[in-house]
Amino acid sequence: MAYRYLFGPVPSRRLGISLGIDLVPHKTCTFDCVYCECGRTTDLTRERREYVPTDRVIAELDDFLAKGPELDYITFAGSGEPTLHSGIGEIISFIKDRYPRYRVAVLTNSALLTDPAVRAALMPADLVVPSLDAVSEEAFVRINRPYSGITAEQVLAGLLDFVSEYPGEVRLEIFIVPGINDTEEEIRLLKDAVAAVNPDCVQLNTLDRPGTDIRVRPASIGALERIAVVFGGKTEVIGAACTDRTLPPESEDVAETILATIRRRPCTPADLATLLGIRPAEVAKHLRVLESGGQIEPVQEERGVFYRPV
């Protein structure tokens, strides 16, 4: 079976070996974050509906998981906000009922947690990684650029409602954008919010791959470590490097696999070699072909040259 809505498995910085599920068309989201590695949001919305066929996603999962792959997580992520899909709860329940050995993770920007139906849909998941990048309205708008009507106050209120009901693990992600949410006042507001949410841990992140706004630069490790001290002992700084575990390509067409990977997130040649378990020289050969064909382009960042789709 050709998989349209599954991607990977890929080695994740946070989740080990993760099978991804993409439930919305590319860049369908409630936010248009300045740091998003998937590019500008082309469908900025808060409408929940069945963006892709629920039964097709379940069929792909059934086909893949029946083979008994070794996975650390099955992760709802991809190129937009997964809770926009009205069938996410049905899909999570299918995994937990049919394949209970697998742990389910959901990465969400928290925008829709004000909706009781969304909160209920996520209850069977083992891990939820919600984002909270700002508490003040000014910083929230500058960083997350939300759909009209979504406010910072609503996002925090929905997050607090969710953690009060959810029995699983919560890892709160905060993305630091220098010059916006790293000021003394913004950090104080975030610290108070972290105390109220009381997650299992806080993960501080910053730009690693090219973001939407080329003016956004990464915070230094030193700055992140200082913020981590302010937030307290359950806070960790997320490193840039991928895990060194390697995976074979799902497709025999290596160029196609490389292009599909880059469409999910920009990668360096070294990232691709690690992700796909192939020699760097072979990666370089296919990158040259894809670049000459106008399908990808190089972008220089602090960690090296990243390739992203044109």
Half-sphere exposure of 191 (CA within 13 A, CB side): 15
Out of 245, 273, 290, pick the residue that ends a domain.
Answer: 245
Return the amino acid letter for 3: Y
Are 295 and 228 in a shared domain? no
> What angle, 0 to 180 degrees and rounded to 10, lies between the N-to-C axes of helices 269-276 and 280-292?
120
Are 39 and 179 in a shared domain? yes
Are 144 and 286 in a shared domain? no
Are 86 and 143 in a shared domain? yes
Are 240 and 257 in a shared domain? no
Are 126 and 188 in a shared domain? yes
Closest CA to 219 of 184, 187, 178: 178
C-alpha span between 155 and 23 (Å, rounded): 21
Are 205 and 284 in a shared domain? no
Specify if 264 maps to a domain.
Answer: yes
Residue 249's pLDDT is: 39
C-alpha span between 310 and 308 (Å, rounded): 7
Are 99 and 218 in a shared domain? yes
DSSP state at residue 189: H
Specify if 46 maps to a domain.
Answer: yes
Contact 12, 27 (CB under 8 A): no
Specify if 202 maps to a domain.
Answer: yes
List the domain range (segments joined by +) for residue 295: 247-310
Specify if 90 maps to a domain.
Answer: yes
Residue 292's pLDDT is: 86
Out of 245, 275, 294, pick the residue that ends a domain.
Answer: 245
Are 114 and 261 in a shared domain? no
Are 72 and 137 in a shared domain? yes
How many helical (H) and strand (E) elements, i.e. helices and strands, does the chain have?
Answer: 10, 12
Are 296 and 152 in a shared domain? no
Task: Return per-residue pLDDT of the chain as tens, 310 residues.
Answer: 778 898 878 777 778 888 989 999 888 999 999 988 777 888 999 999 999 999 999 999 999 999 999 999 999 987 899 999 999 999 999 999 999 999 999 999 999 999 999 999 999 999 999 999 999 999 999 999 999 999 999 999 999 999 999 999 999 999 999 999 999 999 999 999 999 999 999 999 987 665 565 677 888 888 999 999 999 879 999 854 444 343 443 444 678 778 877 776 778 888 787 777 678 888 888 888 888 888 888 887 767 788 888 8
Residue 168's pLDDT is: 96
Specify if 173 maps to a domain.
Answer: yes
Number of domains within the chain? 2
Are 163 and 44 in a shared domain? yes
Residue 248's pLDDT is: 43
C-alpha span between 230 and 211 (Å, rounded): 26
Specify if 1 maps to a domain.
Answer: no
Out of 219, 245, 271, pick the residue that ends a domain.
Answer: 245
